[in-house]
A = this chain, B = another copy of it.
Amino acid sequence: MAVNFTDIEEAHGRIAHLIAKTPLLNSPRLDAIAGRRLWLKAEPLQITGSFKFRGACSAISTLSDEARSRGVIAYSSGNHAQGIALAATLFKTRATIVMPHDAPANKVANTRAYGADVVHYERGVESREDIGADLAKKHGLTLIKPYDDPAVIAGQGTVGLELSDQIAELGLSVSAVLCCCGGGGLSAGIATAMAATHPDVTLYTVEPEGFDDTARSLSLGKRVANETEQGSICDAIVTPSPGELTFPILKALAGGGYAVSDTQVMRAMRYAFDTLKLVTEPGGAVALAAALFAQDLPPSDDLLVIISGGNVDEAMFTKALTIS
């Protein structure tokens, strides 16, 4: 496997002073809806608003002084961009983020506010990979991929390390964790940590309906792709297919995958607002949606649920608040 538990512990040692140890929230009102106790790992409260900051710090912290003196590059218009931007600033290197020219203004502004240079490309005309490769070559930048990077997976796995402590502290009776899944970095990291510390706890992935490449890949035992990447409100977790490094880990450790509808996701966002007082983005709320609304959930007394991020704009959030 690309990552083992020692890698996660070492990543934690490198980044613990920078990241927030996020709380495991509980709400009696949500429990009543779910019919059991839900414990919600609140990564919207992570610095930069999502778990991506963990992997970004982990990856950049492994770079040599010489590589840091040249800088890093990433392609993203979302959470990975913001995580890399701030992590680069904190590790005193320079980040270049390649974003489509029509990326939302607030995401561009946030990424710049965290200290990164933003380079635009014209979606459909230019290739971000080509632009990135040119810049990387010209300036000697290190590319940091969003999930197919062992140091990134190990960084996301620190969520699992914290969960492991929290399960013990709270004395939870738990055998399952539901986790949103895009490329699989977070799921693979958490599954690796659980296998080492709580082998009785199985991870299940959750994706948007129609974009459940991981669930289908787990069923088939091989990586299959989504038919399209367009059309989900959960943009943050729609990827072409499971990662090359992440899928073998999930194939070995995950119990299977669930899929939820956009309406279920928005209802979950509204419940998170109302009962947890937490701002969630659509892609960050899929596991909560599954915990509340999915059929055939694992029979765990307490259920762990990963809420992965809260970087949502006012229009989308307001729309979720009006869902019935």
What residues of chain A have their CB less than 8 Å away from a CB belonging to chain B? 20-23, 25-29, 32, 42, 44-45, 47, 49, 86, 110, 113-114, 273, 275-280, 310-311, 314, 317-318, 321-322
Contact = CB atoms under 8 A, between A and B. Distances in A.
Contact of A47 (B26, B44, B86): B26
Contact of A25 (B20, B29, B110): B20
Contacts of A276: 45
Contacts of A114: 28-29
8 contacts: A20-B25, A23-B23, A29-B113, A49-B277, A273-B317, A277-B279, A279-B279, A318-B321
Contacts of A310: 277
A200 to B, nearest CB: 24
Contacts of A322: 314
A275 B312 CA distance: 11
Contacts of A47: 26-28
Nearest to A115: B28
Indicate the member of A21, A32, A279 with the most B CB atoms within 10 Å: A279
Given A29-B113, A317-B321, 19 more contacts: A20-B25, A20-B26, A23-B23, A26-B47, A27-B47, A28-B86, A28-B114, A32-B113, A42-B45, A44-B277, A49-B277, A273-B317, A277-B278, A277-B310, A278-B278, A278-B279, A314-B321, A314-B322, A318-B318
A283 to B, nearest CB: 14
Contacts of A279: 273, 277-279
4 closest residue pairs by CB, A with B: A277-B310, A44-B277, A277-B279, A314-B321
A278 B26 CA distance: 15
Contacts of A32: 113
Contacts of A42: 45
A62 to B, nearest CB: 22
Contacts of A318: 318, 321
A7 to B, nearest CB: 26
Nearest to A49: B277
A277 B21 CA distance: 15
A280 B273 CA distance: 10
A166 to B, nearest CB: 11
A161 to B, nearest CB: 17
Contacts of A45: 23, 25, 42, 276-278
A271 B323 CA distance: 24
Contacts of A20: 23, 25-26
Nearest to A279: B277
A15 B26 CA distance: 16
Contacts of A275: 49
Given A279-B273, A310-B277, A317-B321, A23 B26 contact: no
A72 B21 CA distance: 38
